[in-house]
Amino acid sequence: MSQREFGALGGVLKLAQMNYERGVRVPSAEYLYSLSLHGIDTHYLLTGKRSGDAVANLPGIDGQMLAASVDTVWRFSKDAIPALSSEDFARCVSLLYSALSLVGRKVTRKTADELGVLLVTTFIAGLDRKPDGRK
């Protein structure tokens, strides 16, 4: 597969793909998510180690809940204005994962969606405010 074709899977042009491979640029969460939708092992791309089921095997991490958190934040934030940076996206996933962990029962898509839309909407609304809380 060419760099152009691989980059297209992640929604970027050949030059961006080349910069990722050379370490000149850091891939965004959106890029990695897009690749994962095509079955690309993004853990391997970032670490050089095959993921297998790495998340599910980490102590204290619920792989299903983490996947639900990433999916939910992605669906509710992908068209957000202002757009979430990769760092803000990661913060939202972390906050949602923590909230879902507090629920303490098997996480359903409905539960993830209800908490996710509230969290992402609140988070994005906060991005529009000045540090003192005013709009």
Q: Percent helix, strand and coil across the chain, each rounded to 5? A: 65, 0, 35
User: Has residue 8 got a pLDDT over 90?
Assistant: yes
* Residue-averaged pLDDT of the chain: 76
pTM to 2 decimals? 0.48
Using CA atoms, how far residue 51 sits from 10, 24, 40, 73, 121, in Å, is: 19, 24, 11, 22, 32
* Two structure tokens written together for 122: 């609140």
Give percent of the chain with pLDDT exceeding 70: 77
Averaged pLDDT for residues 65-76: 80
Range scoring the smallest mean pLDDT among 6-20, 37-51, 99-113, 119-133:
119-133
Better pLDDT: 15 or 29: 15
Averaged pLDDT for residues 7-23: 91
